[in-house]
Amino acid sequence: MNAKPKLLTVMDVIAGVMFVTAVALVFFYAPLERVMGLVQKVFYFHVASAWIGMLAFAVAAFYGVLYLVKKDARYDRVELAAVEIGIVFAFITIVTGSIWARPIWNAWWTWDPRLTTATVMELVYFAYLMLRSGIEEPERRARFGAVYAIIGFLSVPLTFFSIRLFRTIHPVVIGSNDPGAEGAFDMTPKMTQTFMFSLLTFTVGFVTLLWHRVRLGALSDKVEQLKLKLQS
Q: What is the pLDDT of residue 17?
A: 98
Look over the chain and give the mean of its residue pLDDT values, rounded to a whole number.
Answer: 88
Q: What is the pLDDT of residue 93?
A: 94
Whether residue 57 contacts residue 83, with contact meaning beta carbons closer than 8 Å, is answered with yes
DSSP 8-state code for residue 180 = T
One-letter amino acid identity for 213?
A: R
pLDDT band at 130 (very low <50, low <70, confident <90, very high): very high
- Of 183, 18, 212, which is closest to residue 115 (Cα–Cα)? 183
| 1 CB-near residues (< 8 Å, 6+ apart) | 215, 218, 219, 222
Angle at 139 between CA 133 and CA 143, to 5 degrees: 80
Angle at 144 between CA 134 and CA 79, to 5 degrees: 100
pLDDT band at 35 (very low <50, low <70, confident <90, very high): confident
Whether residue 157 contacts residue 166, with contact meaning beta carbons closer than 8 Å, is answered with no
d(CA 162, CA 180): 16
Q: What is the pLDDT of residue 172?
A: 63
Q: At residue 200, does pLDDT exceed 90?
A: yes
Tens of pLDDT along 80-109?
Answer: 999 999 999 999 999 998 888 788 777 787
Neighbours of 43 (CB within 10 A): 25
Tens of pLDDT along 59-73?
Answer: 999 999 999 999 999
In this prediction the pTM is: 0.89
The residue with greater pLDDT, 113 or 182, is 113
